Structure 1
């Protein structure tokens, strides 16, 4: 995955097209490790994303992008708008409708031979 194809992923993510993200960009056995959740396959991740984003609008903003061809390391500012009170907020159960905030994150993507994401590890940056 190069920068151009990564931006195509970001566009799908930012449009909240979760089915496309999980079928076109993730392998079926993708491992996703977030500070707030962990998944061992695309189907479970898709279910969680659809539920979480009933009350959250999330936008990835790329700050830096590095790759060695097999691994992407991306510094992101992730903007959240909470559409309703939700315990699924990065803030935890204190998330309230109308909250609007950014969280700096480091995302590390391991890319499968077919060019899709096989592993995604995200950490919140201080």
Structure 2
């Protein structure tokens, strides 16, 4: 069983691989954030670091809990899940790649590998 298979199994309650037009829309959504050269340009947006995803959820920063997950690994497809499930299964998700983007149209989250912290940027000024 691969790390992706383990992640998929952990998130099975709400897990969908994104393909076709939905994949293109999800990638376009990512590029609405300041990204370049495979990374988020954090200096170009307001952000805050959190010790865990529960801190993000407890801060009520996210209204839409559906998120996309994009790993910097060609063997891991883009998928959609729920941020609460990611928080509950964080190690299964973060094991996919040292560079990982969790995002939707209001928030972008990047695990700060090798620490267990997360950098969070919002589209609005709610940080």
Structure 1 length as normaliser, TM-score?
0.31
Query: Which protein has the bigger helix share?
Result: 2
Query: Which protein has the bigger strand share?
Result: 1
Structure 2 length as normaliser, TM-score?
0.31
